[in-house]
Amino acid sequence: MYVFETQIRVRYGETDQMGYVYYGNYPLYYEVARTEMLRSLGLSYKQMEAEGILLPVRSLNVCYLGAAHYDDLLTVKVILKELPAIRIRFFYEIYNELSILLNTGETELVFVNTVTRKPKKAPASLLAELKPYF
């Protein structure tokens, strides 16, 4: 298992008139957390794209438990429970500053060749970095 945490400050433009973070903004937070997780492993999603691999999202689940507010400093926990193959599944937990769990989520992404847009295996460099944790 590989667990990583990063922090995100809620922007004003991410709230809605209910006074909470709009439900549709959490996928953006999840994306930030995925990117930072890869960076923590010495990898760069940007670099991966430059090398011909895209990582489109295949599914998204979010369970909303509590609300995030403007200016909250959120902690996003990302968890990999298994080594990726053609697919990679990320699990997420978002906490506010009081350590209250605001939502849990899950995304499944597929490694795809940039040119052919066909699925392919996870890059060796990613697997090499992740193996010690599994």
Positions marked active-site = 16
Site mask for its own copies (CB under 8 A), range 24-53, x = bound: xxxxx--xx--x--------xxx--x----
CA angle (51 as vertex; 46, 52 as ends), nearest 5: 100
Position among 7, 16, 101, 113 found at the interface with its own copies (CB under 8 A): 16
User: Is 111 one of the binding residues for its own copies (CB under 8 A)?
Assistant: no
The full DSSP string for 6-30 is EEEEPPGGGB-TTSSB-GGGHHHHH
Two structure tokens written together for 104: 């849990």
Q: With CB under 8 A, what is the number of residues at the site for its own copies?
A: 38
Could you tell me where the DSSP H helices lie in 20-123? Answer: 26-40, 45-50
Interatomic CA distance for residues 102 and 93, integer angstroms: 8
Interatomic CA distance for residues 62 and 107, integer angstroms: 9
Which residues from 47-86 bind its own copies, rule CB under 8 A? 49, 54, 56-64, 67, 69-71
Nearer to its own copies, 59 or 101 (CB): 59
**What is the helix (H) or strand (E) element at residue 128, kind and residue range?**
helix 124-130
Q: How far is the CB of 113 from its own copies (least distance, A)?
A: 13
User: Is 124 one of the binding residues for its own copies (CB under 8 A)?
Assistant: no
Nearer to its own copies, 13 or 132 (CB): 13
Residues forming the site for its own copies (CB under 8 A):
9, 11-13, 15-20, 22-28, 31-32, 35, 44-46, 49, 54, 56-64, 67, 69-71
